Amino acid sequence: MSRDETTILKETFEAQGDDHFSEGLQTPMHEDAFLMNNEEKMEQIARHFEKIMHTLGLDTQNESLRGTPHRVAKMYVEEIFGGLNPMEAPDTRTFANPYDYGHLVVEKNIRLVSFCEHHFLPFIGKAHVAYIADGEVIGLSKINRLVDYYARRPQVQERLTLQIAEALENALKTKDVAVVIDSKHLCVSTRGIKDESSSTVTADYRGAFKEAETQQRFIDYIRMETDL
């Protein structure tokens, strides 16, 4: 890439600033994303991260820092970005609804930790998920696992909200699903504006949840205090 092209790219990124935007529902990945296995990915990441540390002026041979590149690589591949691997996708099999329960099923206050894809800093919060059964139901823990799977990748909160809703709709074969996420972004609180008090709320209401009465019932359930 020429110096002029690099300058144009830098100016473009700086103009975008902290704007959070997404070009589509799918997490952007290149076509060779799965040619390497996890061990090969960790080896490359560790090597590149050591160069980053060296560039910052850190002594990577220091006893305290020597293992950092490997630890970061392992964390990226096997932990916080494990949701990039389709082999990690949770089992979303459904089963018959023997009770003929046709009202709201709400799983609220699901702890969520994801990473902003613009700065690779965490955003931490809660997801609230609901659906109305249409012949099939899904295990409650499967909803938590679904949220965790899509969260464990570089994300934009808007896209994360839509991905969870889409996956639940596909699993249950019903459009009557809703997802609300409320989170704090460390890219906002620790850099830039450094606003520690604000949070970001995103929502996706589908099917019956587009109706004001059903949507309000879902919101009321979210607000209910659970004394356990």
Mean pLDDT of 38-56: 98
Q: How confident is the model at residue 11 (pLDDT cuts 50, 70, 90)?
A: low
pLDDT > 60? residue 4: no
Q: Where are the alpha helices (DSSP H) in the chain?
A: 3-16, 38-55, 68-74, 140-151, 157-172, 186-189, 212-223
- Does residue 163 carry a catalytic annotation? no
Class of domain 94-223: alpha beta
Which residue out of 43, 78, 88, 117 is catalytically annotated?
A: 117
What are the φ/ψ torsions at residue 132 (nearest 5 degrees)?
-115, 120
Q: For a pLDDT cut of 90, what percent of the chain falls above it?
A: 80
- Does residue 119 carry a catalytic annotation? yes
Task: Please give the CATH architecture assigned to the domain spanning 27-80.
Answer: Orthogonal Bundle (1.10)
Query: Is residue 184 classed exposed, middle or buried when 0-12, 13-18 and 19+ CB atoms within 10 A define those classes?
Result: middle
Q: How confident is the model at residue 54 (pLDDT cuts 50, 70, 90)?
A: very high
Which residue out of 20, 155, 163, 187 is catalytically annotated?
A: 187
Task: Report the mean per-residue pLDDT for the chain.
Answer: 91
For the ranges 24-28, 70-74, 167-171, the lowest mean pLDDT is seen at 24-28
Q: Which long-range contacts does 75-81 make (Cβ < 8 Å, 24+ apart)? A: 76/42, 76/45, 77/38, 77/41, 77/42, 77/45, 78/38, 78/42, 79/152, 80/113, 80/115, 80/152, 81/115, 81/152, 81/153, 81/154
Q: How confident is the model at residue 64 (pLDDT cuts 50, 70, 90)?
A: very high
Which residue out of 78, 88, 119, 136 is catalytically annotated?
A: 119
Query: Is residue 143 classed exposed, middle or buried when 0-12, 13-18 and 19+ CB atoms within 10 A define those classes?
Result: buried
pTM over 0.85: yes
Which residue out of 107, 157, 163, 169 is catalytically annotated?
A: 157
The pLDDT tens digits for 161-218 are 999 999 999 999 999 999 999 999 999 999 989 999 999 999 999 999 999 999 999 9
Domain boundaries, the chain: 27-80, 94-223
